[in-house]
Structure 1
């Protein structure tokens, strides 16, 4: 198929494509879900913990923002180097190396207080994290037969979402001083890397190498899948970062705003396996269309809600529908593509999410400042409605 290219000789019994998988490669699936859940916990803990620690040390918000940019730069660098890395090393070994690399980066945060060292460690953390997600998602699809793809993607999404939600809960227990949170998370990731390596002795599949050219070909071949991930990133970050500000501006307490993020995350994680079941039982395009319709509607009706119970109910529905877009896109990636294009698609998803989340955070905040608090959720809802129209036109074609 387009985008596939000859690769070096593989080890015996290694299957490279989801189209060749008859029975699921459960050790590979377990390794991927274990790895991504572990890193999601680590990222959910360390992302706010780094900011809180730097603030406690007296660094300005601008420098804290620069440090966060290092993580994004690492994500971009790993995407650009993906082709050369997968041509030289097998994807499963790169995942283990990346988990170990993340563990060492977190240990560096615990051992050093130098801003320059933290900047480099944050860059490398983004680099290794991106590899874990890109290669893991490609491997997940390569290891899974199509009849189970939706359910496996749903479990993967649940693990990712639950990990991000659980991470920040450890901050009150571990504190933001002394580096204990970083040190314990580093040990946790090292243990997961070892467990993942043990599982890989029993795997039968591995994704094929890809190239930067394959990534750009995927953008051209699957604009709607890329658009789904962009829409997910836009709406997801708007919900996490802008909506708590919206609640405070609308007169709710800061405690309510904080609770809303938990209400957003937990039902979303619980719902993803059920979304995956629907993806295996119903036409996948219809499930994706329903998800974006519900997400758009939840944003549009949020400003009219008065009761806090009703607001939190809509917010939970919003999170579930928004994250379901990603579960749908991941499932449809494995359904439609194989070989090198699986890794290329996962890399394209990473770039689309980065672009969508950046736009969602910046634009929603600016629109709220210019047009008032209610303009924030309404603008996201209108954007999702426009994307719904694009999906419907594409289905008719």
Structure 2
């Protein structure tokens, strides 16, 4: 059996988790500050969209930067630049200045995710890829959840919450420095592939990433509106969202094991169909106790679409195509994050609160139909 390089793997996962904590903290922190300043909800939403926009714009540059600087150097540089961007955000406290700064935060954060996922896929033995990638996505989801929770400890006033984020970004760079001798070189074999070129190689995988990102963003941003329309209290809605995020985090290892046993393509189709079932059941059981296990499972299978896509990426691609694929994943995630919420918000304006499960269901239905069509074609 292939030996697993646990030290390198732990270093890579720790790096991204610390980064995820910092990013998970910035979204609610900056929204709270802008709300206190009397900023309109539309402008707060536009400000939040700058970070995923940074992901989208940076993605095409990453394969070339990795070839020029090397993975470790680029990761360390991005950690420092992200910390500097957050220092500038804390210093300015102005919504218009935050627009370009939040864009830069996304621009500098994205290469670190791409590099880390490429390293992880490169060193993971194929028979264990399902559970390792499941572990990775579980821990990173946990990191995103810890970010907002840390605000409960330090509050949202002054420098203390920003210092947590700045320290996390810098720790990230230090972890990379510590584990550099154990890290693999970025794969150089094969032809240089651009992000645009990768879209032609695996369009359905990228649609899966888009769907997973849109699903998560839609639910996190609009579930409160849906729950309020059905007469649910704020505390119950917040608890249901927490339950959804917990499902994201705790079920990925189990789904990874299923992928090892039944294949990642079958498990991806299962995740799409199970997510669709959740959309269909939501209106009927929202006021029942069954909503709690449903939301937990829903969180797991909807994020499982991304985990399965990542496993498939490792199964189907290597060398420079793998770096381009991870960058294309980041691009598709950014697009899903930006497009999903406004489109669903419009649907809810047009057809009422049931526009939320209808939009999510349509997304899952299209993905499932495309996956079935591809299986029949093969």
Q: How far apart in 1 are the matches of 2:103 and 2:219?
A: 26
Tell me the TM-score normalized by structure 2: 0.93
- Judged with a 3 Å threshold, the aligned counterparts in structure 2 of structure 1 residues 351 and 306 are, in CA distance, closer, same or farther, namely closer
Asked if 1:269 corresponds to 2:259, the answer is no
Q: How far apart in 1 are the matches of 2:352 and 2:99?
A: 36
Name the structure with the higher helix share.
Answer: 2
The superposition leaves residues 45-84 of structure 1 with CA deviations (integer Å, 9 ceiling, x where unpaired) of: 1111012112323444454344334323422331132233
CA contact (8 A) 2:71 2:185 kept: no
1:236-385 paired onto structure 2 within 5 Å: 236-385=216-365
> How many residues align structurally?
377
Aligned to 1:193: 173
CA contact (8 A) 1:248 1:254 kept: yes
Aligned to 2:107: 127
Query: For 1:177, what is the secondary structure of its paired residue?
Result: coil
Q: Structure 2 regions of 5+ residues with no counterpart?
A: none
CA contact (8 A) 2:119 2:184 kept: no
Structure 1 segments of 4+ aligned residues over 6 angstroms from their partners: 209-212
Q: Structure 1 regions of 5+ residues with no counterpart?
A: 1-20
- Judged with a 3 Å threshold, the aligned counterparts in structure 2 of structure 1 residues 386 and 71 are, in CA distance, closer, same or farther, namely closer
Query: For 1:390, what is the secondary structure of its paired residue?
Result: helix
CA contact (8 A) 2:209 2:305 kept: yes
- Judged with a 3 Å threshold, the aligned counterparts in structure 2 of structure 1 residues 377 and 84 are, in CA distance, closer, same or farther, namely same
The superposition leaves residues 297-356 of structure 1 with CA deviations (integer Å, 9 ceiling, x where unpaired) of: 001110111534211221111111100011100011011000011111111111111222
CA contact (8 A) 1:37 1:163 kept: yes
CA contact (8 A) 1:232 1:322 kept: yes
CA contact (8 A) 2:60 2:194 kept: no
Q: How far apart in 2 are the matches of 1:353 and 1:314?
A: 24
CA contact (8 A) 1:25 1:204 kept: no
Of 295-304 and 52-61, the range deviating more from structure 2: 52-61
Aligned to 1:105: 85
- Judged with a 3 Å threshold, the aligned counterparts in structure 2 of structure 1 residues 360 and 70 are, in CA distance, closer, same or farther, namely closer
Aligned to 2:151: 171
Q: How far apart in 2 are the matches of 1:306 and 1:83?
A: 45
CA contact (8 A) 1:83 1:209 kept: no
Q: How far apart in 2 are the matches of 1:115 and 1:375?
A: 31
CA contact (8 A) 1:238 1:361 kept: yes
Of 211-220 and 194-203, the range deviating more from structure 2: 211-220
Of 267-276 and 321-330, the range deviating more from structure 2: 267-276
Of the three residues 23, 29, 37, the one matched with 2:17 is 37
- Judged with a 3 Å threshold, the aligned counterparts in structure 2 of structure 1 residues 209 and 83 are, in CA distance, closer, same or farther, namely farther
Q: How far apart in 2 are the matches of 1:30 and 1:333?
A: 21
CA contact (8 A) 1:134 1:346 kept: yes
Q: How far apart in 2 are the matches of 1:93 and 1:139?
A: 13
1:224, distance to aligned residue in structure 2 (A): 1.4
Q: How far apart in 1 are the matches of 2:363 and 2:113?
A: 27
Q: Alignment RMSD, CA only?
A: 2.2
The superposition leaves residues 226-281 of structure 1 with CA deviations (integer Å, 9 ceiling, x where unpaired) of: 11111111222222112221111111111111111110011321111111112222
- Judged with a 3 Å threshold, the aligned counterparts in structure 2 of structure 1 residues 76 and 352 are, in CA distance, closer, same or farther, namely closer
- Judged with a 3 Å threshold, the aligned counterparts in structure 2 of structure 1 residues 322 and 107 are, in CA distance, closer, same or farther, namely same
- Judged with a 3 Å threshold, the aligned counterparts in structure 2 of structure 1 residues 208 and 122 are, in CA distance, closer, same or farther, namely farther
